Structure 1
Amino acid sequence: MKKWLAEFIGTLFLMLTITTAVLSKAALAPLAIGAVLMVMVYAGGHVSGAHFNPAVTLAVFLRHRIAAADAGAYVVAQVVGAAVGGLIGRWVVNPADVTAVSFSGRQLGAALMVEVLFTFALAYVVLNVATSSDHEMNSFYGLAIGFTVLAGAVAVGGVSGGAFNPAVAVAGSMAGLFSWSSLWVFLLSQSVGGALAAFAFLALNPHDRGVLPTEPDATRGVDTPDSGVRNPA
């Protein structure tokens, strides 16, 4: 339960920051979004692994570091947390008019491409800095993850909206940031990006195939009761 609550809280504040920054047209919106993700990753990493993103959870699942049932519970907590954060943000800012992001023609293909690529980048970075035995117990994982989102938001936010996260896409549609008709673009591209990141990680790190925490030999990077060790899965 505590892991699900950590995922709920982290995703709520991520989506709250996204919604308020975008709706208020904050000049430093990408920096705020990358920063809140970074601090929430540091805050929740030792509890749940701080995925805050169903695409990341998918990558961690395919990398064999989380069981299917736990992955499903994480996704539910993330979507609910994002929905609550998005609705609070919409109520707080409440702009007179909102132009929802939608895609057509060449822009549709461009959005699909950049959402695949930057979701891949995000999940790939998470797997390498937060689950790899080569970087066990490092102190830079939150910075790396937050700056990946910052870079993506600055680089392609104007192309796709820069979601890189299915929970953000769903909650963003609820808050009016994205068009419901374009939701499939995000869900498809982000799922593909997360899956490709897992396959790339396993191909490049064949020595580091994950062992589920329920198995006797699962000792690297996984919490044991009251151990206080960061759990990247």
Structure 2
Amino acid sequence: MKKLLVEFIGTFFLTLTVATAAVLGTGTPYAPFAIGSVLMVMIYAGGHVSGAHYNPAVSLAVYLRGRSSLQDLISYIVVQLLAGVAAVFVAKALVPGQGVDPLALKSTPTLISELLFTFALAWVVLSTATAKATSGNSNYGLAIGFTVLVGAITVGSISGGAFNPAVSTMLLVIGKLRIGDCWLHFLPQVLGAVVAAYAFKTTHPEDR
């Protein structure tokens, strides 16, 4: 239960920051720094309890890598998505009356952006937080948070810079992501997580 509570708290603050700072514009032009920073501090706060996934794609990668059970995967994803939805209501209460213009997404650039940086994020999580060679390090939160910061700055204007199905769920509920475009986020995010898991297993054959 405590792991699920940690996952809810971390995912909630991550998606709330994206919703307020980026979607509703309270943090412009510094939203990417806020997003990367909140992810970093929430990882440091909860990593020793739940693994600090805060992202269904990361949870999938960790499961495929062999470091979590199917039960944990399912329960983590449910809690993370619920946190993303809860963040929408709080964000709207914090910034009442703020309109949201849907993202104007182009299929190929969006698919590539979300695939590459979801892969990068899952790869960094697996390599810094689950690998034997980096066991006990205290820098994984910084590495993971800065991966999201880099992605948000690099392709945020192309795809929305989600790299996280919980964030995409928040974008969908708040009206930033059109229902007809949601596959442009969810599909590459899942693929990025799968590719990262198997890339890690290929490059770390001793890590079981």
- Shorter-chain TM range is over 0.9
1:3 paired residue number: 3
Deviations along 1:88-121, whole A, 9 cap, x unmatched? 1122113442111142xxx211100110000000
Alignment match, 1:20 = 20
Rounded to whole Å, the distance in 1 between the matches of 2:101 and 2:50 is 35
Give me the whole-angstrom Cα distance separating, in 2, the residues matched to 1:151 and 1:95: 31
| Partner Cα separation in structure 2 for residue 59 and residue 171 of structure 1 | 21
Q: Which residue of 2 aligns with 1:226?
A: none
Q: Deviations over 1:118-139 (max 9, x none)?
A: 0000000000000000001101
CA shift for structure 1 position 148: 0.1
Is residue 2:191 matched to residue 1:189? no
2:75 corresponding residue in structure 1: 73
Equivalent residue runs for 1:1-233 within 5 Å: 1-22=1-22, 23-25=24-26, 26-103=28-105, 107-209=106-208
| Aligned AA (1:123) | A
Q: CA RMSD for the aligned pairs?
A: 1.0
SS of aligned partner of 1:149: helix
Residues in 2 aligned to 1:20 and 1:2: alpha-carbon distance in whole angstroms: 27
User: What do residues 54-112 of structure 1 show as CA deviations (whole Å, max 9, x unaligned)?
Assistant: 00000000001001011100000100111111221122113442111142xxx211100
Aligned to 1:227: none
In the alignment, what sits opposite 1:220? none
Distance 1:47 1:178 in 2: 32
TM-score, normalised via structure 2 length: 0.96
- Report which of the two has the higher share of helix: 2
After TM superposition, give the deviation of residue 185 of structure 1 in Å.
1.2
Deviations 1:9-42 (A, max 9, x none): 0000001111110212521000000000000000
Give the counterpart letter for 2:190 in structure 1. Answer: S
The structure whose Rg is larger is 1
Residues paired across the two proteins, number: 206
Query: Is there any run of 5+ residues in structure 1 with no aligned partner, and where?
Result: 210-233
Contact kept in structure 2, 1:102 and 1:181, CA below 8 Å:
no
Q: Percent identity?
A: 50
**Letter of the 2:25 counterpart:** S
Are the aligned partners of 1:24 and 1:93 in contact in 2 as well (CA < 8 Å)?
no
